[in-house]
Copies of this chain bind each other. A is one copy, B any other.
Amino acid sequence: MEITQGIIRRLNEAGLKITPQRVAVMQTLCKLRMHPTAEELFAEVSKTIPGLSPTTIYNTLDTFVEKGLIKRVKTDADVMRYDAITEHHHHLYCAVSDRMEDYFDNELDEMLSAYFERKQINGFKVSDIRLQLMGDFSERKTTQ
């Protein structure tokens, strides 16, 4: 239950009431590392909380985003996805499989910060640099 405690603390810090729905959504989001959609979350959280309303999923996710507890992420596909990791990071994305993975790289971030500190963009103040690395997740078994 240590994980649950951490979630409860974070919800409290955000000034949100602790409800089974919210705890379950956050737990599920942290567990599923694959940037799930609202629908996927609804299916998963419903296992824990029968009778859960889809509306609650949308409400909860919106609230979490508002409070900065999670982030929205978008792919080229049609649905919104959610990310429990709010620290700065990038994404590896394969458009064919619509699969997305996190990518952390400090060296890269420092290089980019330095670059945009030197090279200012006229009329635009950069606050965050997000890379979407398009490509393919090479399966181990691929011969090529």
Binding site for B on A (CB under 8 A): 72, 74-76, 78, 80, 92, 101, 103, 105, 107-108, 111, 115-116, 119, 121, 123-138, 140
A-B contact pairs, 13 of them (CB 8 A): A72-B76, A74-B74, A92-B121, A116-B133, A123-B137, A123-B140, A124-B136, A125-B138, A126-B133, A127-B135, A127-B136, A128-B134, A128-B135
Number of copies: 2
A125 to chain B, nearest CB (A): 5
Residues of B within 8 A of A134 (CB): 126-130
Minimal beta-carbon separation of A73 from chain B (angstroms):
8
Kindly list the 8 A-B residue pairs having the minimum CB-CB distance in the complex, ordered from nearest.
A128-B134, A74-B74, A127-B135, A126-B135, A130-B132, A125-B135, A125-B136, A92-B124
Give the chain B neighbours of A76 by CB distance below 8 A: 72, 74
Q: Please report the C-alpha to C-alpha distance between residue A142 and residue B82 in the assembled complex, in whole angstroms.
A: 34
Set of chain B residues within 8 Å of A135, measured between Cβ atoms? 124-128
Complex Cα spacing A43 to B115, Å: 40
